[in-house]
Structure 1
Amino acid sequence: MKRNVLIIGAGGVAHVAAHKCAQNNKLLGDIHIASRTLAKCQAIIDSIHEKGSLQSPGRLQAHQLDAMDIEATKFLIRATHSQIVINVGSPFLNMSVLAACIETGAAYLDTAIHEDPAKVCEAPPWYGNYEWKRRQACKDARVTAVLGAGFDPGVVNAYARFALDTYFDDVESIDIIDINAGNHGRYFATNFDPEINFREFTSTVWSWEQNQWRANSMFERRQDWNMPVTGMSTTYLTGHDELHSMSQNLGVPNIRFWMSFSEHYINVFTVLNSLGLLSEKPVRTAKGVEIVPLEVVKAVLPDPASLAPAYTGKTCIGDLIRGTRGGQAQQVLIYNSCDHEECFEEVGSQAISYTAGVPAVAAAMLIAKGSWDIGEMANVEELDPVPFIESMNRMGLVTRIQDAHGDRILRPRQESIYEPKPRMLVNY
């Protein structure tokens, strides 16, 4: 059994993760929060006290850390006796934090794939470029490293694994659909780190189709979906982390990711991109100052965490899986819907941060209990999805299923006796 958690990062997802760790500190033990800005870490701790999130009296401590410094990260892990590290800082930190965990024996969790600041949208599969190269090192050190344990990637991977295990003999396609029907009231803002957000959309869109990688441009392929709670929404094919592990691990020929965008977002993005303001490459100003345009755009846009107080509306994120069972066509939607205002009331965050932060802590709890403490590296779809879904159901991130039986809360252990009935499904 592992105890004591070090959370690296102090943004919106770290805020949620810290609150959820506090709500479960009888199991998880001491909670430490570290980032380059000590004041941000302390603000999260103050919020935990204000909301009364601590399950029982326990240690909460803020630390200043440059997590790119492996030696400093190793020192902090040892000094705090942390046996679980939740890395929800910038994706640029992943490999440094992972190295520190391998060398100290702490379990490692993250919610997004590693990125090189100088490169955008590398050749797929992305995990093969960095994280998977450390698989053997994790195994040799018997270090558990769970990759992409947010919502997407993370929960959607578990949904796919559960669907394949339970509802299908063969699966033809998985469409991951991410709808944010909320309104933050700002002229323009991104729901998570603007720099990371824009890097996803400025280059090649990779999808997995007919068992091979297919390249498209951003906003080239559009699809409208009628989703529960959020209704009819327009989405665009987008490249995303989970495709790069699910394509290798699930044996499904078609896996795509669709994200909703408003016309306003697309217009602003197009102007910024056309002007070169979303470039990650340094430029020199007339005064001889070297700057990175994307970093400037990030600096002038609202901090995603600041959106929470005024955010209204709901999200709907899930997997639409199509295949066969018993020779008959089968279609299943497994999804979650989150309310921005309810998330703010509970932990002071918006729903995008909530949906990423809760799963990371659910995964940490499974490592603490031992069921996910596997002593090697794994993506979420390689692990047992049942306790993961059950934990999130208890923690406020409830999973639902829509199929021939209707729309209901997904209770995984009851679904194991699933028997399809001939009934018309919702038409997507």
Structure 2
Amino acid sequence: MKRNVLIIGAGGVAHVAAHKCAQNNILLGDIHIASRTLSKCQAIIASIKEKGNQRGPGQLKAHQLDAMDIEATKKLIRDTNSQIVLNLGSPFLNMSVLQACIETGVAYLDTAIHEDPAKVCETPPWYANYEWKRRDACRQAGVTAILGVGFDPGVVNAYGRYGMDAYFDTVDSIDIIDINAGSHGRYFATNFDPEINFREFTSTVWSWEDGKWKANAMFEHKKEWDLPVVGKRTAYLTGHDELHSMSANLGVPNIRFWMGFGEHYINVFNVLNNLGLLSEKPVRTAEGLEVVPLKVVKAVLPDPASLAPTYTGKTCIGDLLKGTKNGKPQEVLLYNVCDHEEAYKEVGSQAISYTAGVPAVAAAMLIADGVWDVSQMVNVEELDPRPFIELMNRIGLPTRVRDARGDRDLDPFAECPELSERETLGKVVVD
């Protein structure tokens, strides 16, 4: 059993994860939170205590850390006796934190693909440019590294794997649909780090079509989806992290990601982009100051965490799989609905952060009790999704399924008790 968790980062997702770790600290042990800004870590701890979310005895401690400093990160891991590291800071940190975990022999988890600050939207499969280059090192060190274990990426990867094994003989397409039908009441804001949010949409949009990568422009393709609870919503074809691993691991010819955007968001985004204000490249002002336009925009927009108190409405995120079963066409939607107000009541967060933070903690719990402690690097779809989905049902993110039989709560073990013929469910499927 692995115990004691080090959370790196102090943003919205780290906030949620710290609350959920504290709720489950009887299994997870001491909880440490580290960031460059110590006061943010201390504020999270104060929030946990205010909500009464620490279930058992144990340390709940804040630390100051520059996680780009591998040696400093290694020292903190050792000083805190942490055996599981949740990297929930900027994706610019991934490779540094991962290396520190490899060298100290502790488990590593993150919720997004690594990014180079100087590059936007890299050549797919993106994971091959960074994390996957450390596969051998993880295996040799016996280190469990689970990549992209938020909601998307993360839960949607598990939905893809589970759906294939539970309901289909062949799958032709997986459409991942992410709809935020909530309202934060601000003129314009992003639901997570504005810098990371905008970088997703300012370059080529990659989708997996007919077994190969297809380049598109942002907002080039849109489609109306009719989803549970949130109803009919327009979503746009968008590039996203999970496509870069699912395309390699699932053998499905068509995997696409669709994200909902309102017309107001699109208009503001286009104005900022057309003015060059979303560029990651430095410019020099008339006063001789060198600034990065994207960082300036980030500085003037609301902190995503500040949206939580007034956020209303719900999110709906899921996978729509199409294929065949027993020679007949089959369509299945696996999804979750999360309420902004309920998330705020429980942990002081909005639903976007909640849906990313809860899965990361579920994965940490599965590592702690040995179910997902696989001593190598994997993406979520390479693991048995059943304990993951079942655990999330219990700790805050219940899954539902909609198919020809109706719309119902998903009991993943009841609906798929055995391995499929592919013999991938219930075991790691990497070489």
- TM-score between the two structures when normalised by the length of structure 2: 0.97
Q: Distance in 2 between matches of 1:70 and 1:287?
A: 36
Partner of 2:422: none
Partner of 1:99: 99
The list of structure 1 runs, each at least 4 consecutive aligned residues, that deviate by more than 2 angstroms after superposition, is: none
Partner of 1:324: 324
Extract unaligned runs of 5+ from structure 1. 419-428
State the 1:317 CA deviation: 0.1
Partner of 1:416: 416
State the 1:288 CA deviation: 0.7
Partner of 1:49: 49
Q: Secondary structure of the residue that 2:7 maps to in structure 1?
A: strand
Deviations 1:250-303 (A, max 9, x none): 000000000000000000000000000000000011111100000000000000
Q: Distance in 1 between matches of 2:409 and 2:288?
A: 59
Partner of 1:129: 129
Q: Secondary structure of the residue that 2:57 maps to in structure 1?
A: coil
User: After superposition, where does 1:235-246 map in structure 2 within 5 Å?
Assistant: 235-246=235-246
Q: Distance in 1 between matches of 2:215 and 2:416?
A: 37
Matched, 1:147 2:147: yes
State the 1:416 CA deviation: 1.8
Partner of 2:257: 257
Q: Distance in 2 between matches of 1:210 and 1:413?
A: 32
User: After superposition, where does 1:156-235 map in structure 2 within 5 Å?
Assistant: 156-235=156-235
State the 1:201 CA deviation: 0.2
For residue 37 of structure 2, what is the amino acid of its counterpart? T
State the 1:56 CA deviation: 1.0
State the 1:68 CA deviation: 0.2
User: After superposition, where does 1:239-318 map in structure 2 within 5 Å?
Assistant: 239-318=239-318
Partner of 1:78: 78
Deviations 1:31-60 (A, max 9, x none): 000000000000000000000001112210
Extract unaligned runs of 5+ from structure 2. 419-431
Q: Distance in 2 between matches of 1:106 and 1:256?
A: 33
Q: Distance in 1 between matches of 2:407 and 2:123?
A: 39
Q: Distance in 1 between matches of 2:306 and 2:417?
A: 45
State the 1:3 CA deviation: 0.2
For residue 340 of structure 1, what is the amino acid of its counterpart? H
Q: Distance in 2 between matches of 1:122 and 1:47?
A: 37
Deviations 1:357-386 (A, max 9, x none): 000000000000001000000000000100
Q: Distance in 1 between matches of 2:18 and 2:417?
A: 36
Q: Secondary structure of the residue that 1:43 maps to in structure 2?
A: helix
Q: Distance in 1 between matches of 2:367 and 2:414?
A: 24
- TM-score between the two structures when normalised by the length of structure 1: 0.97
State the 1:14 CA deviation: 0.2
Q: Distance in 1 between matches of 2:58 and 2:207?
A: 45
Q: Secondary structure of the residue that 2:371 maps to in structure 1?
A: coil
Q: Secondary structure of the residue that 2:286 maps to in structure 1?
A: coil
State the 1:350 CA deviation: 0.1
Q: Distance in 2 between matches of 1:291 and 1:71?
A: 29
Deviations 1:85-123 (A, max 9, x none): 000000000000000000001100000000000000010
The percentage of counterpart residues that share the same residue type is 78
Deviations 1:170-191 (A, max 9, x none): 0000000000000000000000
Partner of 1:69: 69
Partner of 1:113: 113
Deviations 1:115-160 (A, max 9, x none): 0000000100000000000000000000000000000000000001
Partner of 1:17: 17
Output the aligned Cα RMSD: 0.7
Deviations 1:167-219 (A, max 9, x none): 00000000000000000000000000000000000000000000000000000
Deviations 1:220-259 (A, max 9, x none): 0001001001000000000000000000000000000000
For residue 384 of structure 1, what is the amino acid of its counterpart? D
State the 1:417 CA deviation: 6.2
Q: Distance in 1 between matches of 2:20 and 2:408?
A: 25
Partner of 2:31: 31
Q: Distance in 2 between matches of 1:58 and 1:48?
A: 13
Q: Distance in 1 between matches of 2:119 and 2:184?
A: 31
Q: Distance in 2 between matches of 1:229 and 1:396?
A: 17
Q: Distance in 2 between matches of 1:216 and 1:160?
A: 23
For residue 218 of structure 2, what is the amino acid of its counterpart? M
For residue 117 of structure 1, what is the amino acid of its counterpart? P
State the 1:352 CA deviation: 0.1
Partner of 2:389: 389
Deviations 1:305-341 (A, max 9, x none): 0000000000000000000010000000000000000
Q: Secondary structure of the residue that 1:166 maps to in structure 2?
A: helix
Q: Distance in 2 between matches of 1:253 and 1:286?
A: 51
Q: Distance in 1 between matches of 2:51 and 2:368?
A: 25
For residue 60 of structure 1, what is the amino acid of its counterpart? L
Q: Distance in 2 between matches of 1:230 and 1:259?
A: 14
Q: Distance in 2 between matches of 1:416 and 1:352?
A: 29
